[in-house]
Amino acid sequence: MATKTPSTLRIGYRYRPGRLAEKYDAIVIGSGMSGLTSAALLSDLGWKVCVLEQHYTAGGFTHSYERNGYEWDVGVHYIGEVGAKTGTRKMFDYLSGGNLHWAPMDDEYDRFYIGDKVFNAVAGKDEYRDNLIRQFPREEIAIDRYLRLLAKAGSALRAYGMKRSFGFWHYLLMWPYLLWKSSRFLFRNTYDVLSELTSDQDLIAVLCGQWGDMGLPPRQSTFLVHSMIVRHYLHGGYYPIGGSWRIADSIIPKIQAAGGEVFTYAAVENIVVEEGKVRGVLMKDGHRIECPCVISSAGVGNTFQKLLPADIAEHAGYKRKLQNVEPSIAHLGVYIGLKSTAEKLGLPKTNFWIYPDNDYDAAVERFVNNENEPFPVVYISFPSAKDPNYLERHPGTATIEIVAPAPYQWFEKWRDKTWGKRGDDYDAFKAELGERLMNHLYDKLPGLRGKVDYYEVSTPLSTNWFSGYQHGELYGLSHTPTRMQQKWLRPKTTIPGLWLTGQDILTCGVTGAMMAGMLTTTSIVGMRKMAPLLKRIYS
């Protein structure tokens, strides 16, 4: 039975060939939310699952790390739909055996600084509406029409997910329902849909104030994903008590209980395909693990360009299909530690979104073409303020995180250098970008000047190094209208025994990845076997 490594933030069991069981029913590549969800659900159906994670800790983007007495999350700032017994909450409760708890953020969960104006989003459907109308009193009709569109998008989103997991006969049977629920407006770009409701550019900017949650500004994103995100947070934002690493920590026992394991430092080099079928994986250390069922949550780019032999990926048509999708933008992260508590420093449980003006698309374009232009969005989050247990782990301290987009190309020249040793020019560039981001923090909270004890900056190369995304992408594939209509982005591949899961087959977000894990499990075992389990989860 596995034990944790000495630090509580290193979860999972260190891989050694000798620690593997003789036989597994499935191998999952990657231990992010989607990989763990697939593994846990299969485990509950009696499968023995081996999860292989290349990083030193399990969790993918839900992992946290410690340095200098502080703890930061890398890819979780807030999660919606967990404040009541929603489907999302029931799935989290089930996977974690009821051991994952949630703390609500302030009612004002998102604050938008747009140029010199300040707007916000508040928790609760009616409260959200009334608050918008207070901010835009002349736009009541547009706001109500917008909320009706969001409601329509809700059931269409479910149909979208179902389509991804159905086999041919199921699809045929459900086709009238799916057709009824599919709407073309979902695949239009967000700006076009919204500009038919209103010409108020500030209102459009506020409605799209969370565009950073999927990485595409309104003229490039699909209304489908926009509406999914707004709906997700409509009843407020929540934070996993104890930190985001608790997500993986609470799910792993389910996998172990069925005889499976989550291995860290376990980089998969290749997916082994022989005679047209998956036979297992080849590890980076040369060890081969036999298994007829391999689920990849490592992203479709990695799966088809790196893990599968090139001739097989090409023969199966994936090389051509990949030309229709592109990586999402990459990001910078600033991880800040302060030697005082969130309460004493007055840090809010509200995310800040800082924009130079209300034309998000133009700001992105200016910035990607010229690094000296203002950041098109700066996102600031206050994790220690959100976590009621933080001080038990790190007494007398507080943390802040900043996220901002940054093209991978700016960093590409250092890609072959080792983490921590990329040279003075890289360090100087990073420091300059970090300083600019820190100034945004001081601009909004001037009282913090002189109180920061430590901060460090991550770049797209850090994302590449720790999470394996080839272009340091923030959210896997870019959520463009074209990507969202790619029918091949589904769990079942054309290579027998190879399955996909993760943010690339549905949408980004911890919940998106969790639902992808559920769809993948359903696709593998079939609806007949899955239905009783789903009934247990959702009853």
Residues of this chain that interact with ligand FAD (CB under 6 A) are 29-35, 52-55, 60-62, 75-79, 266-268, 297-298, 302, 331, 333, 403, 467-468, 474-475, 502-503, 508-511, 513
The least CB distance from residue 33 to ligand FAD, in Å, is: 4
Q: For ligand FAD, give the closer residue by CB, 415 or 451.
A: 415
* Tokens, residue 492: 């079942």
The least CB distance from residue 268 to ligand FAD, in Å, is: 4
The least CB distance from residue 511 to ligand FAD, in Å, is: 6
Q: For ligand FAD, give the closer residue by CB, 64 or 503.
A: 503
State the first-to-last Cα distance of the chain, in angstroms, to the nearest integer: 32
CA pair distance 151, 406, nearest whole angstrom: 33
Q: For ligand FAD, give the closer residue by CB, 198 or 350.
A: 350
The least CB distance from residue 73 to ligand FAD, in Å, is: 8
CA pair distance 255, 253, nearest whole angstrom: 5
Q: For ligand FAD, give the closer residue by CB, 136 or 160.
A: 160
> Residues 321, 488: contact at Cβ < 8 Å?
yes
Query: Chain centroid to CA 454: how far?
Result: 26
* Tokens, residue 398: 């507080």
Query: Chain centroid to CA 394: how far?
Result: 26
The least CB distance from residue 381 to ligand FAD, in Å, is: 8
> Residues 420, 393: contact at Cβ < 8 Å?
no
Q: For ligand FAD, give the closer residue by CB, 198 or 458.
A: 458
The least CB distance from residue 367 to ligand FAD, in Å, is: 17
Q: State residue 92 phi and psi, 5-degree precision.
A: -60, -45
Q: For ligand FAD, give the closer residue by CB, 236 or 502.
A: 502
Select from 177, 131, 182 the least CA-distant residue to 156.
Answer: 182
* Tokens, residue 322: 């990949």
The least CB distance from residue 203 to ligand FAD, in Å, is: 24
What is the per-residue burial (b if ≥16 Cβ within 10 Å, else e) of 280-306? Answer: bbbbeeeeebebebbbbbbbbbbbbeb
Q: For ligand FAD, give the closer residue by CB, 35 or 217.
A: 35
* Tokens, residue 356: 């130079």
